[in-house]
Structure 1
Amino acid sequence: MMKKPVLLALCVAVAIPVLTSFAHAGPIENACNRSNRKQASRQLCGCIQQVADQVLRRSDQSRAASFFKNPDKAHKVWMSKSKSDDAFWDRYKAFGAQAEAVCAG
């Protein structure tokens, strides 16, 4: 009789970290997983999100995630003459280079 509660507690202890990792996926990971790109995988998208968490502000992540759905947005930001867009683009390029170095392979 005592085995069932222990087994249940063990299952819950193992399941909670797995479930919360899906619940706490960041904006870039979510956008990557939803994209139609054939190279996208949960592992790759998760790696890219980890780099984003290190390199980009949360607001930058949301903005960059919107590029998955609408690549024209990225082009408009790149072509913009705005100082804030230029600063974002510099951070975005650094993120892309770091993600490629860490996640490609």
Structure 2
Amino acid sequence: MKKTVLILAASIAVSGPVMIPMTASASAIERACNASDRKAANRSLCGCIQQVADFTLKNADQRKAAKFFKDPHKAQELRQADGSHNEAFWKRYKNFGETAAQHCSS
């Protein structure tokens, strides 16, 4: 299950506990997760991943990461792209994926 969560988070992809989100979100990650064709995607798991996203990613980051569910290759392209903005996003996204794997795989 842990591997499945990491794959889901990475394809859309913080140590310590996840707390209640500080800001409301448009639920872009949850919608993309639920709409994905992955067998492990379900409302509960996608909701958990969204909670982690709310805590670890800005809304703009969530919208960008949600596109990875439909086209996982976009994540690879962004990871390899030059630029400090892309590098900063990738660090936040990687943190999100690791946190989702830890928090949502129980």
Normalising by structure 1, we get a TM-score of 0.75
Q: Segments of 4+ in structure 1 off by > 6 A?
A: none
Structure number with greater Rg is 1
Structure 1 unmatched runs, 5+: 1-23
Report the aligned-residue RMSD: 1.1
Q: Helix, strand or coil for the counterpart of 1:36?
A: coil
SS at 1:29 equivalent: helix
TM-score, with normalisation over the residues of structure 2? 0.75
Higher relative contact order (CA 8 A, sep 6+): 2
Letter in 1 for 2:58: R
Distance of 2:83 and 2:41 partners within structure 1: 32
CA shift digits 1:32-83 (9 cap, x unpaired):
0000000001000000000000000000000000000111110111101111
**Residue of structure 2 in register with 1:63 after alignment:** 64
Give the number of aligned pairs: 82
Between the two proteins, what is the percent identity of the paired residues? 51
Match of 1:85 in 2: 86
Higher percent of residues as helix: 1
Specify the alignment match of 2:16 in structure 1.
none
